[in-house]
Structure 1
């Protein structure tokens, strides 16, 4: 294993997935701590041998059963205290799916559900801020 002089943050990806017509947003209910029981964007830690976009696709499949073929990189979330487990940077991607897309919670997600983007439950981490930014910058809402 490598030894480094400087500490390294963990790297995650999060997916903002919408039904294009109805603007329903995909969220998962966390099945584990931190924020167990709270809603969040689907996502998780990147593996050492995968690209960021592939990590996001894998996490979407594991947590929701949804295969999203096309994702676009949106932003990096690097707020210092955004994750109580330690210094974590997340790369966010977004994509659209058909109105009839069906999801089911899996892996560390207790549930997966669609919510109107303007009527979301309380969210874990900094996800409310990130979704608000996405609405302003990408959806022009």
Structure 2
């Protein structure tokens, strides 16, 4: 048996993604991307995506954020894991949510899997993909706010 296959098991394993809640400092604005692909094509979502096998979670989140919005951020904090069995129509997917803050003048532009990237006021969020509306609401509760 090859060493690389030593601990391979024949049971299903979930996919892992990271998503980013990015807020502009001193405002009520959050960064969203418009999805370019299914599922939820053209629906708005938090920036994020699948981790690569050689990445730690925070690095994956920063990479996806850069690819989808052009935004580079130094510091992210882990918020929570979302693991509802049916949260992603592509299959069993766990998402680790990170958050961070940027200056008011931060500019973004859609790229990679994002047709567009834009800032939205919390009180005027569009319909969101996946369970991202619940994620944002949970985060606002943590901050002691609500929409």
Instruction: Return the TM-score normalized by structure 2.
Output: 0.93
- 2:70 — aligned with what? 65
In structure 1, runs of 5+ residues without a counterpart are none
Higher gyration radius (CA): 2
Backbone CA RMSD of aligned residues: 0.9
Which runs of structure 2 are paired with 1:101-116 in the superposition (5 Å)? 101-116=106-121
Shift of 1:40: 0.1
4+ residue runs over 6 A deviation: none
1:60 and 1:34 map into 2 onto residues whose CA distance is 19
1:48 and 1:19 map into 2 onto residues whose CA distance is 31
Counterpart secondary structure, 2:27: coil
In structure 2, runs of 5+ residues without a counterpart are none
Q: May I ask how many residue pairs the two structures share in their alignment?
A: 140
Instruction: Return the TM-score normalized by structure 1.
Output: 0.97
1:118 and 1:16 map into 2 onto residues whose CA distance is 15
- 2:138 — aligned with what? 133
- 2:55 — aligned with what? 50
- 1:30 — aligned with what? 35
